[in-house]
Amino acid sequence: MSDQNSQPGVPAEHTPPAGHSKPRISEQAFIEVQNSEEFGELRRTFRGFAFPMTIAFLVWYFAYVLASVFARDFMSTPMFGDYFNVGHFLGLMQFLTTFLITWLYIRHANTKLDPIARRIRERLEGAAK
């Protein structure tokens, strides 16, 4: 279903209702933001968390995989009885660290990234009015 507000290639449910269109932001405004110190700070803050955390997790993940292949005796060392071993424990820790990293990222984004992004967005939207 299409109406007079719909835009080509944009589903109607993603098109603002009549009289509630978003202000148009110029291409130049986006370029200015991209070149701004504030946007550079946003990139540095994101990368300062994402890159080290990604490297740490990949090292941890590949260490687990390599230990599973090359350190079978160590990985099969029993823990908590005969049915649970070091490999099982470290495998479960992979899940736990995934959830931990997700929680840390959400906390980082909420406290560090979102305030900067909000300021940038408000400046862009204010300039478009």
Domain-located, residue 63: yes
Q: What is the pLDDT of residue 124?
A: 86
Q: Which domain holds residue 86?
A: 25-128
Quote the pLDDT of residue 15: 55
- The Cα–Cα gap between 33 and 38 comes to 8
Does residue 112 lie in a domain region? yes
If pLDDT is split at 50, 70 and 90, which confidence band does 82 have?
confident
Tally the domains of the chain. Answer: 1
Angle among Cα 40, 101, 99 to the nearest 5 degrees reads: 145
The answer as to whether 15 is a domain residue is no
pLDDT, tens digit, 9 for 90 and up, residues 115-127:
999 999 988 887 6
pLDDT for res 104: 97
pLDDT: which is higher, 88 or 14 = 88
pTM score above 0.75: no
Closest CA to 120 of 35, 57, 51, 53: 35
In a domain, 39, yes or no: yes
Residue 7 lies in a domain: no
Q: How high is the pLDDT of residue 110?
A: 97
| Sign (positive or negative) of CA dihedral 3, 7, 10, 16 | negative
pLDDT score recorded for residue 75: 93
Asked, for residue 6, whether it belongs to a domain, the answer is no
